[in-house]
Amino acid sequence: MTQALFAIYFTIAIALIFDYVNGFHDAANSIATVVSTRVLSPRLAVMWAAVFNFIAFLVFGTDVAKSIAKDVVEQNILSVGMIFAGLLGAIIWNLITFYLGLPSSSSHALVGGMAGAAIAKGGFDALISEGFRKIAIFIILSPLIGLALGFILMIITQWSTVKVTNVNRMNKIFRKLQLFSAGAYSLGHGANDAQKTMGIILALLISGNQVGANSELPLWVVLAAHSAIALGTLSGGWRIVKTMGSKITKLQPQGGVCAETAGALTLFATSIAGIPVSTTHTITGAIVGVGSARRISAVRWNVATRVVWAWVLTIPAAGVMAAGTFYVVSWLK
C-alpha cells in the first residue's frame, strides 16, 4: 500500500470515528424525550434509537452526502490533509461540548471544521458561497421549523384531549405512541447525520482519485457510516440527555410525542431535499415549541440561552481548531 493510499484510508477511519462520536454526542437528541418521560430506560432507549439510525439508508437517498462532498469546499482545494484537519477540529469541539454537557451541533462542528481547514489552505475563496449560504439559512430555519411544528402539534393534541378526564389512561396511550415518534426521529437522525460522514468519505475518495467526481456512493461507505453512527448511539451520553429532556422544559408523554414528531418531519423533509441540517437544533426547537404551547414560563429560557450560545460558537470554534490542526499537519510534512 502506498503512503498516499494509507493516508486516505487512515482519514476514512478518522471520519468513521467522527461518525461514532456524532452518534454518542447526538444520541441525546434521539432519546432525550423518551427517557425523560420514562417511556424507556436509557439502555433500551439507545438500543431503540440505534436500530433506526442503522436502517435509515434503506429509506432515504444520499443527496445530503453529495451536498457535503461537493457544495461546501471547492473541489481543487480538497486534499487528504485538509479533510483530516477539518475532521479533527470537529471531533475536538464535539468532545469539549460533550464533557460540558452542551447539546451543540455535530453537523455545524463538521461544517466549521471543514471551512476552517479550507480557509487555512486556500483562503476564503476555497469556500463555495452558494452551498454555505444554504447551510447558513437552515442554521436559522431548522430550529424555527421544529419550534413551529412542535407548537402546532402540541396545541392540536391539547385541544383534542381537553375533555379527557382519565389522565393516566391518556398518558399510557401517548407513552405507546412515543415509541413510534422516537423511532421516526432516530430514522431522520440517521438519514441526515450519517450522510454527512458519507459525504466526507466521498470527498476523500474523489480527492485521492479513487472514484470519479460524478460517482455514486459505494455501498461499503453507506454501510460503514450507518454502522458507526448506530454504534455511537449505543454509547450515548446521559449528560446531554438531561439538558435536552428535562432542563429546557419538563416533558410529559404527550409533549414528547409532539416534539419527536415535529423533529422527525423536519428531518425527513430536509433529508429528501438534500439539505444538511442540525438534528440538535431541530429537536431543541421542537422541545421549546412544545413547552411554549403549554405556557411561556414552562421553558427554562436561561438553559435555552446557554444552548444557543453553544450553537453560535460551534462553527467558529471548530473552524479555529481545524485551521490550527491544518497548520500543524502542514508543518510536520
Long-range pairs, 324-327, Cβ under 8 A, ≥24: 324/89, 325/84, 325/85, 325/88, 325/89, 325/117, 326/81, 326/82, 326/85, 326/86, 326/116, 326/117, 326/120, 326/121, 327/120
pLDDT at residue 253, as a whole number? 80
Q: Are 306 and 102 in contact (CB under 8 A)?
A: yes
pLDDT in tens, 12-32: 998 998 888 777 766 666 676
pTM: 0.81
Question: Which pLDDT belongs to residue 179?
Answer: 85
Q: CA 292 to CA 125: how far, in whole Å?
A: 42
Residue 51 in this model has a pLDDT that exceeds 90: no
pLDDT of residue 307: 64
Q: Is the pLDDT of residue 246 over 50?
A: no
pLDDT at 248: 44
Q: What is the chain's mean pLDDT, rounded?
A: 82
Residue ranges of domains in the chain: 3-332
When mean pLDDT is compared across 3-17, 170-184, 299-313, the lowest value belongs to: 299-313
Q: How confident is the model at residue 244 (pLDDT cuts 50, 70, 90)?
A: very low
Which residue has cell 464533557?
A: 99
Contacting residues for 97 by C-beta, under 8 A, at least 6 apart? 25, 103, 104, 310, 314
Contact indicator for 210, 8 with CB cutoff of 8 Å = yes
**pLDDT value of position 245:** 45
At residue 251 the predicted structure's pLDDT band, cuts being 50, 70 and 90, is low
**Is the per-residue pLDDT at 163 higher than 60?**
yes
In the prediction, which pLDDT does 322 show?
94
pLDDT category of residue 232 using cuts at 50, 70 and 90: confident
Sign of CA pseudo-dihedral 186, 229, 108, 276: negative
pLDDT confidence bin for 221, thresholds 50/70/90 = very high
Q: What is the pLDDT of residue 323?
A: 93
In contact, 16 and 176? CB cutoff 8 Å: no
User: CB-based contacts of 156: which residues, under 8 Å, 6+ apart?
Assistant: none
Would you say residue 3 has pLDDT above 50? yes
* Average pLDDT for 42-58: 82
Residue 118 predicted with pLDDT over 90? yes
Averaged pLDDT for residues 187-198: 87
**106-110, 161-165, 292-296, 324-328 — which one is most confidently predicted on average?**
324-328
Residue 238 pLDDT greater than 60, yes or no: no
Top-confidence residue, 286 or 94: 286
Residue 224 has pLDDT above 90, yes or no: yes
**Whether the predicted pLDDT of 202 surpasses 70:** yes
Residue 297 reports pLDDT greater than 60: no
